[in-house]
Structure 1
Amino acid sequence: MSETPSTSGEVIAEYFLDAVEAFEDLVFAQRETPPEHYDEEYFADGWRDGGNRYELETRRRIEARNPQLIQEVFSPQRVLDVGCGPGFLMLFLQELGIDVHGVDYAQASVMLAPPQVRDRITIGETSAVDAPARSFDLVICREVMEHLTVLQVRETVRQLCEASSRFVYVTTRFHPDPATLLDVTTQFDVDPTHITLMSKDLLRVLFVLEGFRRRADLEAQMDWAGKRRVLVYERA
């Protein structure tokens, strides 16, 4: 860090400038994961911890009460699942009578999806969602942000908010111990495509800048497993 200025305000400003410069270097060094990485092996092979494979009954067990909770908390009529993978949550919501659609980056998602929702999945980037403005009363994006670059995260947040007429429900993995708002880390030991674990506060700021307010009460309801990885925002 450069020479310490004389006033506390200048010290804080200079310290944060160092954080901004480090953030800038990281952002421009990041590289997107190509869609071909997310092939059938990525979703279906046994490399995942705890047998967390994308098979119908495995996903039904892992989802547990989530689909019913989504219905109870949000009472949605139309749902968009951004980064839906092979669409198992879509299927479980459809079984509850909800009109649900999905977007995913990987062609393998459609190949592995249950027949009931296969034609409801659109292949596309989460940062370029092809949906009319405010056409879904609930937009879901779960365990996706960590797979994106920071620039993709920023644009994905904009897309989620653009598509939602009311709620956005997000889960992701966050930096476990950020020293500043701009700290970003990785989690390659869990998944080699976990390239962006940002601070929770930074992701919250991005939603506020899109005109959405935090619903802490709904976050508490959706975080039934106590993982502290849930964000819920409502159009202001």
Structure 2
Amino acid sequence: MRVVSLVPSLTEAVAATLPGGVVVGATDWCTHPAGLDAARIGGTKNPDVAAVVALRPDLVVANEEENRAPDLAALRAAGIEVLVTEVRTLPQAMGELDRVLRACGAPSRPRWLDEAEAAWAALPPPARRARAVIPIWRRPWMVVGRDTFAGDLLARLGVDNVYADHAERYPRVPLDELDAVEKDLVVLPDEPYRFTADDGPEAFTAPSALVSGRHLTWYGPSLAQAPEVLGRELRELGELGER
């Protein structure tokens, strides 16, 4: 089986489950697992379609949010099978991961997927709930809006997204509005924009929690550690109390 992955989460999931050599192509943003031996075929939004075709994959795995429809159409036109995932909630992620891995040749569910499901199922109710703004970009400022995987994970940890009912999934919102809207904290992941202690918190008067973008936005093996990692990062801010 020869697989090209256009999604970092799926690259890690397939490489962690199937023998080395199955993933023959991956994007420049596919940083896990470290040392992955696969051809790099560009970004998630601008893959080199000709390079993907030249790799002669049996399957290309993609995502309706991460990848552009014209690129996927071009791959299909070249005779390549493309599997497109939709991941907007944790249960949906679990189901889509199982579907992708089976399509890539996995004989059964991997242990890490069972462990991830168990870790989230065992999560106790939060001691309290907090309202948060969740920026994912600046210049311009963009935040997590409605119907998103990151929003669903945070809600399970007791953090309610202020913009969960916005008409857009990733709206652009002026900074003055973000700072003025009623909230308890600002959640700043380190991807897709790399917010740091010196780049992000200074823009807000509310307390800011710097969190792992991989554990907040990736659906793969990192899901098994995500409740602990994100919970610890949020508790360090002191906004959600003790579990």
Q: Counting helix residues as a fraction of each chain, which structure ranks higher?
A: 1
TM over 0.5: no
- TM-score where L is the length of structure 2: 0.32
Taking structure 1 as the reference length, the TM-score comes to 0.33
